[in-house]
Amino acid sequence: MFRKNKDGFTLIELLVVIAIIGILSSVVLASMNTARKKARDARRQSDLKSLQLALESYYDSNGIYPVQATEVSVSSTSLGVLVSSGDLNALPDDPSPSKDYRYKTDATGSEYCLGASLEGTVPTPSDTCPSTTKVTGGSVNYLVGQ
């Protein structure tokens, strides 16, 4: 009479497999996004540390930090002296195109504030700018030099 054909999958079985694959891929993508944020934050901290070392080297040679009384982007010309003096090979750029590293000094160039907007981690050390160079607005975490 009737013979059941067992050669293929049923529609229900295919839908279940597709749903499981969709759930697994969304979990993997979500965890990769977190890892990317942490990687960008790690790069920011590394870039700030290299800028800090270059600023300290510049200070040892000149007795003053490059003076910038208003907060500026690190990629601006104010820190180009670190490259021209040989203290830094190139000015680092933030891994996110919409963000940038920030730099500011007091009027005398005796202390500076260097910062970056982080996405997921707290920088080490976690300080704020001294009151003379503190920048208001924005969520910026700073490394401070004096």
Domain ranges of the chain: 11-145
Q: Return left, alpha or beta for 138; rule: phi > 0 is left, psi -120 to 50 is alpha, else beta.
A: left
pLDDT of residue 20: 96
Contact yes or no for 112/104 (Cβ under 8 A): yes
pLDDT of residue 8: 80
Backbone phi and psi for residue 114, each to the nearest 5 degrees, phi listed first:
-125, 130
d(CA 117, CA 99): 7
pLDDT of residue 2: 63
Q: Model's pTM, two decimal places?
A: 0.69
pLDDT of residue 136: 38
Contact yes or no for 119/40 (Cβ under 8 A): yes
pLDDT of residue 5: 64
- Specify the amino acid at residue 14: L
pLDDT < 70 regions, the chain: 1-6, 76-77, 120-146
As given in the structure block, the two tokens for residue 88 are: 């830094």
